[in-house]
Structure 1
Amino acid sequence: MSTPPPSTVRGGAPLTAEELLEALDPDQREVASTLTGPLCVLAGAGTGKTRAITYRIAHGVLIGRYDPRRVLAVTFTARAAGEMRSRLRDLGVGAVQARTFHAAALRQLSYFWPQAIGGSVPRIAEHKAPLIGEAAGRLGLSVDRIAIRDLAAEVEWAKVSMITPDDYVRAAAAAGRTETAGHDLTTVSRLLSVYEEAKSERGVIDFEDVLLLTVGILAEREDVAAQVRTQYRHFVIDEYQDVSPLQQRLLDLWLGDRDEICVVGDVSQTIYSFTGASPRYLTDFRRRYPEAGVVRLVRDYRSTPQVVRLANDVLARAGRHRNAAAVELVAGRPSGRPVAFEVYDDDEAEARGVATRIAALQREGVSASEIAVLYRTNAQSQTIEQALASAGIGYLVRGGERFFSRSEIRDAMVLLRGAARAQMDGTMPEHVRAVLSGAGWQPEAPAARGATRERWESLNALVQLADELARTRGADMQGFVEELLERAAAQHAPTVDGVTLASLHAAKGLEWDAVFLVGVSEGLLPISLADGEDAIAEERRLLYVGVTRAREHLHLSFARSRTSGGRGNRRRSRFLEGIWPEETSRGRRSAAISKTEATRAALAAQDVDPDLLERLRGWRTQVAKQIDKPGFTILHDSTLVAIAAAQPRELRQLAILRGIGPTKIEAYGAQILAVVRGDEPSHD
């Protein structure tokens, strides 16, 4: 688990600046102590970068170097901004602004628009799809839902790259972009122009326009720029490897000719190049600011040495493509379980195997909210969802309906706001429980799955948040409601108890006790669409991001075939060459032993006898040779695991296991029971 921040009070008194710095490691302390001039922090995954920069801000405020109202901390997601605000508040510097680029720009645009343009800011179109569809229709283009999605992404790329429709063909060709949704560059250029016309006719702007319009006002109105620069004197930019040209232009206008800026990033986590993000602003920071200090955060407090070793190995095999600014992590936690590697016969077997392991972790006491299944494409989630549902395991698909948009949460917030105005006896958590009981919450989780369980988990997340705020801040009902309203505005949802399913892109910035990386095979990772060395390098970084999300348990797997009985022609990802156990230089026998050792701990947690499982696999191999068919056509790996766990003694006990039908019973039932008993099976 990541190192938690220490208490900011000592016997009821705030920490001194010296005590604040003593709570950091030497590298973090250097960041927190460097309060002036440009500073570049190269921070590896799990190295406490958020802690370092929030303590830096708090330190500057404590010693009087910073006015908290003059500091702007910028990050890339509403969730991250909400977390940063929470940490700053806990450190006693709640007046510091922590926002995304868009939130900060929208705030400035709304304030200055009346004097710079006149009237009010146009309405922001929540989705581009209707406008893209309208523009395509005007041009006579045939587009479906997927084509509209791809064209919308291309519109966003052009705008954050500050490329006009007139210059699109040249700029896109120079960037190596050939076509979008089957349309050539000239057609896309025309669509960009018509899209802008459609927006103007409707009197709306899009999210990229928020930045573009703010940039335009600041560039053209020196009086407005002067007001912004007076308001903000110190800047901290998180996830700087993901800055786009448009965001960098806005940052330049905020700064003017000053250099009071601290940037934090990790080139090894650059995974959004396709959206226009560029790590060059991070890697070239010293060229722009020759006097800038550079601090490397390398000690990983998040992951076990086993996970850290794998993460380093994935990057080390990048060869000449590895960036010199990349950080090599140093494990800061005690040793943990080996990383598990598994090959399954098909996608369904992989999903069932993952569900079985998740159930075992839950029996060990790992909370569902601390488990994640990560994949390269969203299409991979369906099979995983089915397997978890069949196993009775609750899950949440990241990127689904937003927490604060759910009807039960909207209704609960109305009730809680009313309760905050009433006089009630008891503690704040007691009040919250009483109010939410009227909305359908109950102390025990319902046995039912599906929508009923999802509603309960949403409401229970509010209960858990109330407990946390009462414990850490002593919040009352009014404080709890204010926290909820702030979180709703920032879409900073509390933790909901369910296994997280997410794409590798959506997992960026998150962490869990246990992570399952599925589909780590060629064609998925790297994705078959990745073209060129740069695209392949970014796919490798995606794997690195996935690996470094895990604190203690990490499981990598892939399936040889997409469907049961299909051709097993998939092979593991090239990024795992020399890492996957079967490929170690010590030879196949040593690799097999290593694989057995790596899986024994997980099997033991499932009450699976690993020796019995090996005997079953040996029996299957013999049968496969006799009938000259692949082993998976006899019994899947997941079925062998189920047999080794159940240890059936009779055919009726064997028949109830998944993957064992009447045909299998007739053909192999007696042999399987003999293997379970420890006898030599008859192959007659």
Structure 2
Amino acid sequence: MTSLRPAQEEIVNYAGGRMGISAVPGSGKTYTLSWLAARLIEQADLFDDQEVLIVTLVNSAVDNFSTRISGFLRDKGLIPNLGYRVRTLHGLAHDIVRERPDLVGLSDHFTIVDERESQEIMDAAVASWLRIHPEFITDWSAPDVDLNSSHYTQKHWIDLVDSLARSFIRQAKDLQLLPADLQRLMQDINEPHPLLQLGLEIYTDYQRSLNYRSAVDFSDLIRLALLALQSDPDYQRRLHYRWPYILEDEAQDSSSLQEQILRSLVGLDGNWVRVGDPNQAIYETFTTASPRFLRDFLREPDVAARNLPNSGRSTRSIIHLANSLIEWTNAAHPVPELRDALTRPYIQPTPPGDPQPNPPDDPNGIFIMPQGYEAEKEIESVAISLKRWLPEHSDWTVAVLTSRNERGAKIVEELKKRDIPYVELLQSSQSTRSTADILAACLRSLADPGSATKLQDVLKRLGRIAAGDDKAMVNYYRGAVALLDRCPRLEDYLAPLPDSDWLAALPSDQVADEVRQILADFRDRIVRWQKASLLPVDQLLLTISQELFTNAPDLALAHKLALLLERAAANHPEWQLIEFAEELSSVARNERKLPGFSEEDTGFDPDRYKGKVVVATLHKAKGLEWDRVYLLSANNYDFPSAQPYDNYISEKWFVRDRLNLEAEALARLKALADGDLEGVYIEDGPATRAARLEYSSERLRVLYVGITRARRELVVTWNTGRRGDSQQALPILALQSGWKGNV
């Protein structure tokens, strides 16, 4: 075993009661908590039917804890897999409900819908609601938005209503409110707000579909676990006895329901250790989690508050930069409400003689770019830097971190174009996006058969598949596209009369036989696909795919995409090919996850990919570290600071008054639950402004997470955005004076 630092030693000597631990990035909290679990199993005189319960955030952490604890127990001469249980919150909730489903009105054979099935149910509920309420989009659209001329805008609205409804349902379940409860609360309201009505009606439809399947979703599982504990005090006491020690990891991401479940299991006299870093609470936007639960716990009078302040992950300069962000936020942020977004303790380097010493310090290893790039130029600049840097650092790990999956996909495309080896940690893989992209192009062309531009677009993409790295074939396809561009009438190419065949009339001495054959084969394909366009869209997609792809992975992806469109067709019977093409394009742009084709988080080890560029979102990067990190898009759109000139991703351009509809709906839902009628009837706008503060606070923490992923070198760049009006993020501007450099 590695020796412990003094702060770690104090924690593993814990004997009982309640203890809260603030652990800085790289402080070894998993190692410390695992050691504590092993020591308790060895020394706490547990009975055979008792266990130490460890609750963590993701499945990869379950495996990590189990492996470490087993190793420590083996070193102590104990049986490695006895005396403890490691669960995610969902896993724990499942254990509680599965043991006594009768307490919450479920049969012994209840099922849990996965993400894919939950999304299918939600898609159907949203589509049904929008068909009944077409006026909703009109009423809430910005005055200058032309809804009749843009399928793209309609698709945006469907996605927004889906996201709004999902957030509403998640929050309602966190408040332990079922549709019937909301209906009862709304009886006293004369004219319910349209957003409340939307949430209630879609929630009712969604929950009815779950009940029809005798199923629950993951949010139900947590809600029902608490209900089971509250319904039967004897059951609660049995579980309290079974788990006399509860160790909670990643407590900064705890939700109200999670805290209530664990408090119920711990009881008034139980033993509870909560470990987390409030500065790394970055999931509030997507979940009902909040760092305030851990912060409040640390201030409770019967809680022993401890710190894990030492970290050997990063150089002293990178540590100083992260600490400077905390200091600036606390003391100098221009918005007082944001000054508690980050909190102490500061990160401290490891002491002399520590088994995990900090990397040798190099202040020149931090590069904060003062000038902003155009959006595409930023990606190009980073790729050029990597191309130059990688050959001399093949034994280093390196990552490019970005805020959104779509941006990550563009980075991957640039790396691939420059033959730079890469690994993806994004919402969908490059192969998925490529498959979706070419199939979307085919549907766009079939939807508009008179468009020469769309037809050429399909041929270009076919050329990339067929030619591969064959330079001669690449040139032949380019020649075919150029010839097609000069075709005066598409019908003379696709459906020629005997005396007007454009392809046959091309001079043989001016057109290579290979080019002529490419155009002939392409015409045959397009004609077959046009005839097949009368088929249901999923069958059409499979027909096209069988001609385009030959290897099993691509065909499997195409089948998955066909199922996606089949479901969309059932939910939107009015859709034409252009809408289905846009659905595929959303996958190709990495805006939508394709269920079943992203690997579950089963543990990612950056050290396995030395000499390759890992492309990840900042959220995916949490818990990981690399020798060199590129942090992109550090502008006031990705990292706003509640300034008058900031823009916010949740305030959609197509919504009137740039309202954040999710924030407006959730604020009214919480007011309804609290019996606050004034909050229910409040005018539109205040909730949007409050959400700006919450989001800006979270983005400061996301920035902190990004900085602390770097071991030895950190490169921070920013771009001026799609419209060219974005500015450097305010916190980066504040930190910049200490570090100058060039990529």
TM-score, normalising length: structure 2: 0.59
Is it true that 1:204 corresponds to 2:215 in the alignment?
Answer: yes
- Mapped partners of 2:405, 2:429: distance in 1: 17
Query: Distance between the aligned counterparts of 2:340 and 2:416, measured in 1?
Result: 41
How far residue 286 of structure 1 moved from its aligned partner, in angstroms, is 4.5
In the TM superposition, residue 168 of structure 1 has moved relative to its aligned partner by 6.0
**Alpha carbons of structure 1 residues 349 and 323: separation in structure 2 relative to 1, 3 Å:** closer
Match of 1:124 among 110, 113, 117: 113
CA change 1:47–1:493 in 2 (3 A) is closer
Distance 2:324 2:424 in 1: 30
Q: Structure 1 pair 198/102, CA: closer, same or farther in 2 (3 Å)?
A: same
- 1:33 is aligned to 13
Which residue of structure 1 aligns with residue 485 of structure 2? none
Paired residues of 2:639 and 2:696 also in contact (CA < 8 A): no
The yes-or-no answer on 1:330 pairing with 2:348 is yes
Q: Distance in 2 between matches of 1:53 and 1:490?
A: 21
- Indicate yes or no: 2:97 matched with 1:109: yes
| Matches of 1:108 and 1:73, distance apart in 2 | 15
The 2-side partners of 1:255 and 1:90 are apart by 27
* Native 8 Å contact 2:56 2:86 kept in 1: yes
Q: Which is further off, 293-302 or 143-152? A: 143-152
Q: CA deviation at 1:494?
A: 6.2
Indicate the residue corresponding to 1:520 in structure 2.
634
Deviation at 1:260, TM superposition (A): 0.1
1:239-318 correspondence to structure 2 within 5 Å: 239-274=250-285, 275-286=287-298, 288=300, 290-318=301-329
Quote how far apart the aligned CAs of 1:291 are: 2.4
Q: Does 1:228 align with 2:242?
A: no
Cα distance in 2, alignment partners of residues 131 and 395 from structure 1: 36
Tell me what 1:545 maps to.
Answer: 705
Q: What amino acid sits opposite 2:271 in the alignment?
A: E
| Separation in 2, partners of 1:383, 1:534 | 29
1:339 corresponds to? 366
Secondary structure, in 3 states, of the residue corresponding to 1:396?
Answer: strand
What is the CA-CA distance between 1:125 and the residue it aligns to?
A: 3.9
Indicate whether 1:384 and 2:411 are aligned: yes
- Secondary structure at the aligned position of 1:510 is classed as coil
2:729 to 563, 569, 573: 573
Secondary structure of 1:560's match?
coil
> Counterparts of 2:122 and 2:10 in 1: how far apart (Å)?
49
Kept after mapping to 1: 8 A contact 2:341/2:697:
no
Distance 1:338 1:365 in 2: 14
Where does residue 555 of structure 1 map in the other structure? 715
CA contact (8 A) 1:32 1:56 kept: yes
Kindly indicate whether the alpha-carbon contact (under 8 Å) linking 1:283 and 1:325 is maintained by their aligned counterparts in 2: no
Q: Distance in 1 between matches of 2:367 and 2:255?
A: 37
**Contact between 1:347 and 1:383, CA under 8 Å: does it hold in 2?**
no
Q: Give, in whole Å, the separation in 2 of the partners of 1:452 and 1:355.
A: 32
**1:135 equivalent among 125, 128, 133:** 125
Once structures 1 and 2 are overlaid, which stretch shifts more, 374-383 or 120-129? 120-129
Are the aligned partners of 2:426 and 2:617 in contact in 1 as well (CA < 8 Å)? no
CA distance in 2, matches of 1:493, 1:576: 29
Local SS of the residue matching 2:27: coil
Q: Residues of 2 paired with 1:29 and 1:454: CA distance?
A: 53
Which of 184, 190, 197 pairs up with 2:195? Answer: 184
Alignment pair present for 1:237 and 2:248: yes
Name the residue aligned to 1:72. 53
Corresponding residue of 1:483:
none
Give 1:357's aligned amino acid. S
The residue correspondences of 1:489-528 to structure 2 (distance < 5 A) are 491-492=602-603, 497=609, 498-526=612-640, 528=648
Map 1:39-54 to 2 at 5 A.
Answer: 39-54=19-34
Alpha-carbon distance change, 167 to 312 in structure 1, aligned in 2, over 3 angstroms: farther
Q: Does 1:394 align with 2:421?
A: yes
Name the SS for the 2:270 alignment partner. Answer: coil
Aligned length: 477
- Residue 90 of structure 2 aligns with an amino acid whose one-letter code is H
Q: Does the 8 Å contact 1:218/1:224 carry over to 2?
A: yes
Deviation, structure 1 residue 114: 6.4
Q: Secondary structure at the match of 1:580?
A: helix
Q: Secondary structure at the match of 1:284?
A: helix
Distance 1:392 1:453, change over 3 A: farther
In structure 2, distance between residues paired with 1:286 and 1:39? 8
Q: Is the 8 A contact 2:278 2:342 kept in 1?
A: no
Does the residue aligned with 2:373 lie in a helix, a strand or coil? strand
State the shift of 1:217 in Å. Answer: 1.7
Pick aligned residue for 2:169 from 148, 155, 161:
155
Q: CA deviation at 1:399?
A: 4.1
Q: Does the 8 Å CA contact 2:17/2:271 hold for their aligned counterparts?
A: yes
Change (3 A) 1:376 1:147: same
Taking the aligned partners of 2:734 and 2:298, their CA distance within structure 1 comes to 35
**Residue in 2 that maps onto 1:100:** 88
Give the 3-state SS of the residue equivalent to 1:491 in structure 2.
coil
- Cα distance, 1:197 vs structure 2: 1.6
| Length-normalised TM-score, structure 1 | 0.63
Larger relative contact order (Cα-Cα within 8 Å, sequence gap ≥ 6): 2
Distance in structure 1 (CA, Å) of the matches to 2:347 and 2:550: 43
Amino acid at match of 1:292: V
Partners in 2 of 1:537 and 1:169 — Cα distance?
34
**Which residue type is aligned with residue 331 of structure 1?**
P
C-alpha distance in 2 between matches for 1:163 and 1:260: 30
Q: Structure 2 counterpart of 1:555, which letter? A: V
Residue identity matched to 1:318: T
Q: In the superposition, relative to structure 1, how do residues 226 and 507 fare at CA in structure 2: closer, same or farther (>3 Å)? A: same
**For 2:172, what is the secondary structure of its paired residue?**
helix
The one-letter amino acid of 1:102's match is H
SS at 1:34's partner residue? coil
Amino acid at match of 1:270: A
CA–CA distance in structure 1, aligned partners of residues 380 and 173 of structure 2: 43
Partners of 1:314 and 1:520 in 2: CA distance = 14
Mapped to 2, the partners of 1:66 and 1:401 lie a distance apart of: 45
Q: In 2, Cα distance between the equivalents of 1:361 and 1:390?
A: 17
Q: Check conservation: 2:405, 2:427, Cα contact below 8 A.
A: no
In 1, are the aligned partners of 2:374 and 2:720 still within 8 Å (CA)? Answer: yes
- Could you list the per-position Cα deviations for residues 24-61 of structure 1 after superposition, in whole angstroms to 9, with x for gaps in the alignment? 11111111111311111011111111122111122223
- Residues in 2 aligned to 1:115 and 1:168: alpha-carbon distance in whole angstroms: 22
Q: In structure 2, how many angstroms separate the alpha carbons of the residues matched to 1:205 and 1:402?
A: 29
Letter in 1 for 2:52: V
Mapped to 2, the partners of 1:159 and 1:552 lie a distance apart of: 44
Provide the rounded CA distance (Å) in 2 between the counterparts of 1:51 and 1:359: 36
Kindly provide the amino acid, as one letter, of the partner of residue 317 in structure 2: Q
Output the aligned Cα RMSD: 3.5
Partner of 1:358: 386
> Using the alignment, how far apart are the partners of 2:89 and 2:242 within structure 1?
16
The amino acid across from 1:303 in the alignment is S
The reply on whether 1:61 has 2:41 as its aligned counterpart is yes
1:233 deviates by 0.9
Distance 1:560 1:401, change over 3 A: closer
Compared CA separation, residues 138 and 395, structure 1 to 2 (3 A) = same
User: How far does residue 573 in structure 1 lie from its aligned partner after superposition?
Assistant: 0.2
Q: Name the SS of the counterpart of 2:208 in structure 1.
A: helix
Where do 5+ consecutive residues of structure 2 fail to align? 74-79, 135-156, 187-191, 331-335, 351-357, 433-468, 471-548, 554-598, 641-646, 651-690
For each residue in 1:205-226, what CA deviation from the matched residue of structure 2 results, as whole angstroms up to 9, or x when unmatched? 1111111222222211233223
The DSSP-based 3-state class of the residue aligned with 1:318 is: helix
Q: Is the 8 A contact 1:129 1:149 kept in 2?
A: no
Deviation at 1:513, TM superposition (A): 2.0
1:319-468 aligned within 5 A? 319=330, 320=336, 321-322=339-340, 326-332=344-350, 333=358, 334-336=360-362, 337-342=364-369, 343-366=371-394, 370-400=397-427
